[in-house]
Amino acid sequence: MKTVSESRAFGGVQGVYTHPSDLCDCDMTFGLFLPEQAEDGPVPLLWFLSGLTCTHDNAMVKSGAQRWAAEAGIGLVFPDTSPRGAQVADDTAYDLGQGAGFYVNATEDPWEPHFQMWDYITDELPNVLFSAFPLAEVAQSITGHSMGGHGALTIAMSFPGRFRSVSAFAPICNPTASDWGRKQFTAYLGKDEATWAPYDATLLMRKRGFDGPMLIDQGTADQFLDLLKPEAMAEAMASRRQGGSFRMQKGYDHSYFFISTFMEEHVAFHAAALHA
């Protein structure tokens, strides 16, 4: 692992690091904020999974999460959204290829050799983090935005007991029924739609739900509402009687202005679960 940069922030350290990934067969980059409390021992960890076109940098710079994490004494990790490099397959469209890993394990060419983002986020990167930094593996929560909200919800529901809480900002809720999902899942996973189901948050909610507190915020002025399909998740939560909050925030769009507005509440929501 190599240190790209480390900057003092809110009494802690915001770092950027690269490491060779066996799963993605390339170097991967992530941001990690450690609060001052990490100097005295392991701290809880909140994952932030970013959306389409983003790198590790977007939420790290724009969300304002470090201030609230420092006050709560929790770490923040900002993974990249895909493998990258000249040898990594790409596409001219913004919603496929580099910057658009969709947090799945690709099985189709030309994506399969590098696009193993599900296992990277759930296995390889955790091993890197918990072996190299003062982080408490037993105290994890997860959140994300848009494509990253899809990733946060599906991963949280697929690993019972790992995450104490889950939240999402404007998540892609029902990708198997959306143009933000059907296109990418066909490319990455093939035409057999049975292989898509483990990556659909609405289908997972109907099947198993989440074993902890859940918070979803969605802007009513989001320009991508038809693609996100929040109503499908809301209906699935209600049908399952899932504990949690699904909030439609009047007038907010899909941008980081929306995320930063409610980030304090999301960090506090997770901090309550992580310190319980």
In this predicted model, what pLDDT tens digit does every residue of 200-225 receive, in sequence order? 999 999 999 999 999 999 999 999 99
Whole-angstrom distance, CA of residue 51 vs CA of residue 80: 10
Identify the bridge partners of residue 249 per DSSP, sorted by sequence position: 219
Is 146 among the residues known to form the active site?
A: yes
Q: Give φ, ψ of 31 to 5 degrees.
A: -100, 145
pLDDT at 42: 98
pLDDT classification of 44: cutoffs 50, 70, 90: very high
Tell me the CATH number at 206.
3.40.50.1820
Identify the bridge partners of residue 219 per DSSP, sorted by sequence position: 249
Query: Number of folded domains in the chain?
Result: 1
Q: Residues 101-138: pLDDT tens digits?
A: 999 999 999 999 999 999 999 999 999 999 999 999 99
Could you tell me where the beta strands, DSSP code E, fall in 60-213? 75-79, 135-144, 163-169
- Determine the structural domain holding residue 198 and report its residue range: 2-275
- Contacts for 70 with CB less than 8 Å, ≥ 6 apart: 9, 10, 11, 12, 33, 35, 36
Among the options 56, 114, 145, 254, which is catalytic?
254
pLDDT classification of 74: cutoffs 50, 70, 90: very high
Q: Residues 228-253: pLDDT tens digits?
A: 999 999 999 999 999 999 999 999 99
Among the options 217, 222, 266, 270, which is catalytic?
222
pLDDT at 22: 98
> Residues, the chain, total?
276
Q: Residues 169-205: pLDDT tens digits?
A: 999 999 999 999 999 999 999 999 999 999 999 999 9
Among the options 146, 165, 167, 178, which is catalytic?
146
Whole-angstrom distance, CA of residue 73 vs CA of residue 43: 7
Q: Is residue 36 within 8 Å of 11, Cβ to Cβ?
A: yes
Whole-angstrom distance, CA of residue 188 vs CA of residue 97: 9
Q: How far is CA 100 from CA 42, 84, 189, 210, 224, in A?
A: 32, 10, 14, 25, 16
Whole-angstrom distance, CA of residue 276 vs CA of residue 270: 10
Is 222 among the residues known to form the active site?
A: yes
Quote the DSSP letter at residue 160: T
Percent of the chain with pLDDT over 90: 100
Could you tell me where the beta strands, DSSP code E, fall in 145-220? 163-169, 214-219
Query: Based on the number of CB atoms within 10 Å of its own CB, is 255 exposed (0-12), middle (13-18) or buried (19 or more)?
Result: middle
pLDDT at 1: 95
Average pLDDT, the chain: 98
Where do runs of H (alpha helix) occur along the chain?
A: 57-62, 65-72, 117-119, 125-132, 147-158, 179-189, 201-207, 225-228, 230-240, 256-274
Q: Residues 143-155: pLDDT tens digits?
A: 999 999 999 999 9
Q: Is residue 112 within 8 Å of 101, Cβ to Cβ?
A: no
Is 179 among the residues known to form the active site?
A: no
pLDDT at 84: 98
Q: Is residue 175 within 8 Å of 259, Cβ to Cβ?
A: no
pLDDT at 64: 96
Measured at the CA of 276, the angle between CA 248 and CA 263, to 5 degrees, comes to 35
pLDDT at 104: 98
Percent of the chain with pLDDT over 70: 100
Q: Is residue 238 within 8 Å of 180, Cβ to Cβ?
A: no
pLDDT classification of 227: cutoffs 50, 70, 90: very high
